[in-house]
Amino acid sequence: MRDLSTKLKNEIERKDFSKIISVKTLPPNIQTGEHFRNLWILDKAKATVLICGSFEKFTAKGHNFTGFSSFTISTKSLPASPQQRLSLLNDAISGRQLGWTSENTIHKNVVVNNLSEISRYIVGLCLLADSKYNNAQLIFAPLLMEIEKKYSQRRLSVEIVRFKNTIRKAYVVSLVKEVIEEYNEQLISENVFSLDGTILRKWEQKLNEALKLDGKDLDALLMLAIIRFLSNDLRGSKEAVVKARMNSSSQSLNICDVSEAFLMCFEGDLRGARKIYRRLINNSPPDYKVMNNVFSFLYQSIEKHTDKPQIRFAYALLNDEFGDKTIATEAFEQFLSETEGKEFFNSWRREASIRILKNNTVNVN
C-alpha cells in the first residue's frame, strides 16, 4: 500500500493537483468498515475521500498484475445511502468495467490499474457537492482532456464513452452552477445592473465553455441570455433564448416564456409579449424560487430603465398571477400614471384598469 500511496502522490504532484489534493495513508492498526465507520475515520483524518480494499496480485489473460480486487469508496459529501451513491458513481465505475457485489463494496474480476482517474473524479464530485466549483473545475477539465487523449487512437468501449460523458456532465454543472450562484448573490443584493464588465465577461466565458461541451444545456443558455442582456447585447440575448427554447422540454418551456416575453417587452413588442405572457398564465407557472428571481430582476429593471414603463406592467401582471396582488395593484396604478396620454400603451392600460378594479372588488368583499 505504501507503494500505491507514493505512486498517487507522485502523480498528483506531476499533474499539479498538489494545492487541491493531498494523499494520506492510514496506519495499519486502523480498521476500516461500513460506510458510517469510514465517515468517522474521514472526520478524524480531516479527509474528503476514503478508498480502502483488498490489494493483491493477480493473473489475468496470461499477464500478472498488482492492484485492488475489491474496494470501498466513502465520502463526506456524497449520500450515505448505498443506492444513492451508486447512482452518482455508477458511470465512473462502469468506465473501469466494475460492478457492485454488495451495497457498500465495488468488486472487479481484473485489476484496477488506473484508480487515480476514479479517485480524482470522486474528489471532483465532492468539491462540486460542497459548492467549491472552481476547484472542481480544476479536477474535471484536465481529467476530461486526459481521458480523451489517452483513448484518442483507440476504438472506445461503451463504458469509456459513458465515463467521459459523466466527467463532461460534471464539468458543465460546475461551470454553470458557479455562474448561477454568483449571479443570484448579486440579484439578492439588488446589484445586477451595477456589475463590472469584467465580472460579466468572466461569467460569459464560463458559460461558453460549458456550451462547447453541451450546447443544449438549458441552464447555461438561459443564464447566458441574462448575462448578454446585462452586457447590452440584446441580439445575443435573444439568440440564447431561441436556442434554449429549441432544446427545452415541455416542462421547461415556461421559463423560456418568461425570458422571451421580457425581451419582447423591453423592445416594445407589446402584442408579442402579451401573447407569451397569456400562454405562460394558461400553463403551469415556473416554480416559486424561479418566480422570486424573476420578480427581483424585473424590479431592478424598472429602477434601471425608467423610460420603459412596460416593464412595470410585466412586473404587475406576473405578481397578479403568481405573486402578491397588493404589489400588483400598486404597480398597475403606477403604470397607469406613467403612461397617461400615451396611446401606444392603450391596450395594456385597459387591462391594468380591469385588474385593479377586480383586485379592489375582492378586497372589499
Of the listed ranges 47-51, 105-109, 147-151, 285-289, the one predicted with least confidence: 105-109
What does the domain layout of the chain look like in residue ranges? 2-114
pLDDT of residue 96: 41
pLDDT of residue 38: 82
Q: What sign results for the dihedral spanned by CA atoms 241, 244, 245, 246?
A: positive
pLDDT of residue 106: 44
- The number of C-alpha atoms within 13 Å of 262 and in the hemisphere containing its C-beta is 25
b or e along 122-137 (b: 16 or more beta carbons within 10 Å of the residue's beta carbon)? Answer: bbbbbbbeeebbebbb
Of the listed ranges 6-20, 306-320, 332-346, the one predicted with least confidence: 6-20
> How do residues 278-327 score in pLDDT, each as one tens digit?
988 888 667 788 899 999 999 999 999 999 999 999 999 999 999 999 99
pLDDT of residue 61: 55
pLDDT of residue 95: 41
pLDDT of residue 328: 96
pLDDT of residue 37: 83
Of the listed ranges 137-151, 153-167, 250-264, the one predicted with least confidence: 153-167
pLDDT of residue 283: 80
Confidence of residue 103 (pLDDT cuts 50, 70, 90): very low
> How do residues 220-253 score in pLDDT, each as one tens digit?
999 999 999 999 999 999 999 999 999 887 666 6
**Which residue has cell 477539465?**
141
Confidence of residue 57 (pLDDT cuts 50, 70, 90): low
Contacts of 145 (CB under 8 A, 6+ apart): none
Between residues 196 and 98, the one the model is more confident about? 196
Confidence of residue 94 (pLDDT cuts 50, 70, 90): very low
Q: Give the predicted TM-score (pTM) of the model.
A: 0.81
Between residues 137 and 364, the one the model is more confident about? 137
Between residues 111 and 171, the one the model is more confident about? 171
5 has a pLDDT exceeding 90: no
pLDDT of residue 122: 78
Helix (H) or strand (E) holding 67: strand 63-75
Q: What is the mean pLDDT of the chain?
A: 81
Name the residue among 185, 188, 263 with its Cα closest to residue 222.
Answer: 263
Average pLDDT over residues 327-338: 97
> How do residues 155-190 score in pLDDT, each as one tens digit?
656 666 777 888 899 999 999 999 999 999 999 999
Name the residue among 216, 230, 220, 217 with its Cα closest to residue 262.
Answer: 230
Kindly give the residue spans of alpha helices, DSSP state H, lying in the chain: 2-14, 35-45, 82-95, 115-129, 133-150, 158-188, 197-213, 218-230, 234-246, 253-267, 270-282, 288-304, 309-322, 325-338, 346-364
Helix (H) or strand (E) holding 342: none
Confidence of residue 82 (pLDDT cuts 50, 70, 90): low
pLDDT of residue 102: 37
